[in-house]
């Protein structure tokens, strides 16, 4: 099980990015949260199987929202992320 914290920058707010991220996570079986940040970025906490996490990260980099555009993704493995049982959109 891999636990990852991501900060996604680009055109990621106001374009349905969080809800499309949830759809991708639900489709792949990824658990966690996605939320907007005050600086215009989006933060994601995600946990899932290593191979599936690689697919999830690539889909985020490609922007799950057709109207979105990802310019940078900071990815950090974090074993202290809580054990989520679903994927939620917050704030």
Which residue of the set 7, 11, 35, 36 is catalytic? 36
Which residue of the set 11, 18, 35, 91 is catalytic? 18
Q: Does 18 qualify as catalytic in the annotation?
A: yes
Residue 44 CB coordination number (10 Å) = 23
| Sequence-ordered list of residues with C-beta below 8 angstroms from that of 77, at least 6 positions apart, any chain | 2, 3, 4, 5
> What strands, in cross-sheet order, belong to the sheet with 42-48?
69-77, 2-11, 42-48, 31-36, 87-90
Report the catalytic residues.
Answer: 18, 36
């Amino acid at each position: 099980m891999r636990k990852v914290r991501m900060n996604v920058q680009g055109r990621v707010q106001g374009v349905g990015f969080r809800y499309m991220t949830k759809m991708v996570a639900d489709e792949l079986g990824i658990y966690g949260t996605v939320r907007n940040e005050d600086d215009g970025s989006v933060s994601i906490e995600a946990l899932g199987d290593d191979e599936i996490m690689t697919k999830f990260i690539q889909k985020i980099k490609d922007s799950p929202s057709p109207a979105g555009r990802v310019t940078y993704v900071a990815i950090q493995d974090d074993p202290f992320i809580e054990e989520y049982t679903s994927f939620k959109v917050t704030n």
